[in-house]
Amino acid sequence: MAIIVGTDFSEHAQEAVRVAAALARKTGMPLSLVHVAEPGMLRRDWSSERGGAITDLEQRLEKEAAALRGEGLSVEPRVLLGMPDEVLVAHAEHLRARLIITAALGWRSEKRWRLGSVPARVAQAAHCPFLMVRLAAPFLEWCQGQRPLRVTVGDDFSHSAEVALRWLPELRRAGPVELTVAHVYNPATEYGRLGLYRASQGPPGIESILERDLRERLERLGEPRAEFRLALGYGNVVEPLGTLAQEAKADLLLLGTHQRRGMRRMRHGSVSLPSLQVAPVAAVACVPVEGPRQAAVPMEVPSIRRVLVSTDFSPLANLAIPHALSLLPRGGELILAHVIESPLPVVYADFWPAVALGDAGDEAEVRRELEALIPRDAERRGITVRVELLSGVHAAQSLCQAAERFGADIVCLGSHGRTGVSRAVLGSVAQEVVARSRRPVLVVKHPALP
């Protein structure tokens, strides 16, 4: 295991070398100091055998390595031949490196307009985390114990963002971290996912839900202390994410990367690669989702704190309520819901308020019926029960939206067990919720049903 830092002897590269040396000193890892010589950069009369050009480079690199050894570091200088990004990645794979570090500037000499910068291509191919450094000062102050490192993590609730968050303990080996989680959201997407309406809720309602979900996600990952910053984004995530990092006075923007290529990259886009170029921070780190050096995500037992259960007041649907209660520990919350389906579609959901449920007397009666279904054991078990009336054109859609809005850890439904023609005619809410829900679904069947 080692830290690999690439250098071309420029002032920009020295910033990266200083950061690599500081991290190696704090973590006790050996340092591999690498200079990659491109064939096109050497003299045209350079022979296939080692000549003066390579010897001069080795001597220059050895001089830098000797200065670092004088500071008590274990340093191996290596002059390698090839394209910088390809050689750095291959060398990191050979050494089973924990981290690759380069400066922000560095280009392939040939076809760079098409192939991109060295940092971008290293981030695209590396099997271990990659750190691109613009300014060394914040990292040196951090490693010297003068202040915590201000880290902003871009979190879009994806697996790649979770991989980046799980890399934070590696940073903490060098010193304390002050964490900010940045999330960029599209209002139109969130209105549909949560079943909210602009006329009644607006961005503040959305952001309170998103912040709750981010906080619960971080608690699950063992990161309870963080500041949250949210911003609107309509397609372009990179610019608002950089703005959030700048507002947080971040030293480091930490991102997960899928390292997509070809058509997959064109279809899904990339946030990490453009951020390497434009993010207004001292450094950007990219943690790959896949690769031989990526530690496996531990299989954790999820905790269930909030369960959404729905009933249409039929005996089979009511069976799901005690099952839902049995899933919750003391202090959990049971959300008991009933969906009133509206025959009138809400065409302009972004501008119209939610469909009225009916007169107040009908609503009160439905609530009383739901409260009568609350198991007597709920209070004894220390479980809080909320009664919610939902409205929508489709019951399954309303339930999926409610699960997102209330942050349910699991959705519990009863099944009527319809098959054949009856299912085709009457449909199955449970089946549709299972197909559409982003959250786990428990379907409770009557023991007599097949």
Residue 293: pLDDT over 80? no
Average pLDDT of 370-374?
Answer: 93
Return d(Cα 260, Cα 238) in angstroms, integer: 17
Pick one of 3.40.50.620, 3.40.50.720, 3.90.110.10, 3.60.21.10 as the CATH number of 306-444.
3.40.50.620
Residue 427: pLDDT over 70? no
3-state SS class at 241: helix
pTM of the model: 0.83
Closest among 317, 323, 355 to 337, alpha carbons compared: 317
Return d(Cα 139, Cα 160) in angstroms, integer: 24
Average pLDDT of 36-44?
Answer: 64
Predicted confidence at residue 361, as pLDDT, reads 65
Average pLDDT of 380-409?
Answer: 92
Residue 308: pLDDT over 90? yes
Average pLDDT of 240-250?
Answer: 95
Annotated domain spans of the chain = 1-144, 148-300, 306-444
Predicted confidence at residue 417, as pLDDT, reads 55
pLDDT tens per residue, range 48-89: 454 456 678 888 889 999 999 988 899 999 988 888 889 999
Average pLDDT of 337-359?
Answer: 58
Residue 111: pLDDT over 80? no
Return d(Cα 396, Cα 337) in angstroms, integer: 12
Predicted confidence at residue 97, as pLDDT, reads 93
Cα 264 to Cα 236, 267, 269, 270, 332, distances in angstroms: 17, 5, 8, 10, 41
Predicted confidence at residue 262, as pLDDT, reads 57
Predicted confidence at residue 223, as pLDDT, reads 87
Predicted confidence at residue 318, as pLDDT, reads 92
Give, in degrees to the nearest 5, the angle at Cα 343 between 342 and 348.
80
pLDDT tens per residue, range 160-191: 999 999 999 999 999 999 999 999 999 888 88
- Average pLDDT, whole number, for the chain? 83
Average pLDDT of 439-445?
Answer: 92
What CATH number does the domain located at 148-300 have?
3.40.50.620
**260-265 contacts at long range (C-beta below 8 A, 24 or more positions apart):** 261/124
Predicted confidence at residue 424, as pLDDT, reads 38
Partner residues linked to 339 by β-bridges: 390
Average pLDDT of 145-172?
Answer: 94
3-state SS class at 120: helix
Predicted confidence at residue 110, as pLDDT, reads 40
Report how far Cα 295 is from the mean position of its chain's Cα atoms.
16
What CATH number does the domain located at 1-144 have?
3.40.50.620
Cα 77 to Cα 63, 97, 107, 417, distances in angstroms: 9, 15, 21, 69
Partner residues linked to 118 by β-bridges: none
- Out of 27-31, 237-241, 258-262, which region has the weakest mean confidence (pLDDT)? 258-262
Residue 29: pLDDT over 80? yes
Residue 280: pLDDT over 60? yes
Predicted confidence at residue 354, as pLDDT, reads 46
Residue 209: pLDDT over 60? yes
Predicted confidence at residue 294, as pLDDT, reads 45
